[in-house]
Amino acid sequence: MRVAFMGTPEFAVPSLKALTASRHEVVVVVTGADKRAGRSLKMTETAVKRLAGQLGLPLLQPTDLNDPSFISSLAGFDPDICMVVAFRILPPEVYELPPHGSINLHASLLPELRGAAPINWALMRGYTRTGLTTFQIRRKVDTGAVLLQQPVEILPDDDAGSLSARMAETGAELIIRTLDDVESGKTHPAAQRDGKATKAPRITPDTCRIDWSWSAVKIHNRVRGLSPSPGAFTMLGRKVIKLFRTLPHPEIVGSEPGVATCVDDLLRVSTGDGSLDILEIQMEGKRRLETEEFLCGRRIPNGTKLG
């Protein structure tokens, strides 16, 4: 099949690699615009654009997906189907353009975790299993008929980074299976059951701030779901501290939630239920450190309140 591939971040890279190694032909890659990033605000290409350049694939970087010139350019590549992995919401003029329509790879077992951040929310809600879904794109986001699904186990030590990397590889395999089925006419689209739908909304600063009145387990899952980026945070005075790796502990060390105590070269913080050991930390403006190394440079007196 002639495939128009649409994607932007690192999560989409294994899928594009798998497609170019398959019997299907990637006729064009559509990705986001270059953006300024980092402290130097250097113009940075998307991960998908970098790979497309290495592979010598034709590239489109529309700023407006409704722009007639973009739609005309896309049609000029004569794709049989659009394959979408971590891109933007497509207008009907785009997703209905190819004869076989457009398929999206979503990082959950739909209708669970519809929305922008399914991997993060699977971890933050303490799931032990999630998965991937290929489905037909329709006007209402993440509601189209399901084609294939693949469960994925969430390991106890997973954070958003490790789970995303593993799911990206599994997802790449799933899209090839899906395209093979479409090409051979073996697909069996199944309508989603809206009554079982849950949401995975976009991550905001409010999502990232720790509430120490939560249980240690809930805070631990929040940290996992936001690590390595954007990172869960708390305040030490006026300074932001990000937490990247933690471990729940049954002992309560403080008289109220948020009280920190140094225990064996780590920070143990009281919560609404149990305590939380902080294993990896980053002070605002500094680099990410193991807590033992962090405490060598800055001691935090016992009884210090984080908030």
Domains of the chain, CATH where assigned:
2-196 (3.40.50.170), 205-305 (3.10.25.10)
DSSP 112: T
Which residues have a Cβ under 8 Å from the Cβ of 140 and sit 6 or more positions away?
none
Whole-number percent of the chain with pLDDT over 90: 87
Q: How confident is the model at residue 39 (pLDDT cuts 50, 70, 90)?
A: low
211 near 33, Cβ under 8 Å? no
62 near 30, Cβ under 8 Å? yes
244 phi/psi in degrees, rounded to 5: -120, -25
12 vs 36, residue with greater confidence: 12
Look at the pTM and tell me if it is higher than 0.85.
Answer: yes
Work out the mean pLDDT of the chain and round it to a whole number: 95
Sign of CA dihedral 221, 223, 226, 228: negative
Measured distance CA(44)–CA(61) in Å, rounded: 13
Sign of CA dihedral 291, 292, 296, 301: positive
Q: How confident is the model at residue 229 (pLDDT cuts 50, 70, 90)?
A: very high
What's the average model confidence in pLDDT over 134-140? 97
Outline where 100-255 has alpha helix (H): 118-124, 160-184, 205-208, 216-226
Measured distance CA(229)–CA(240) in Å, rounded: 15
Residue 106 has pLDDT above 80, yes or no: yes
Measured distance CA(268)–CA(299) in Å, rounded: 13
Q: How many residues does the chain have?
A: 307
Residue 265: predicted pLDDT: 81
* Cα–Cα–Cα angle for 125, 131, 136, rounded to 5 degrees: 115
What's the average model confidence in pLDDT over 165-190? 97
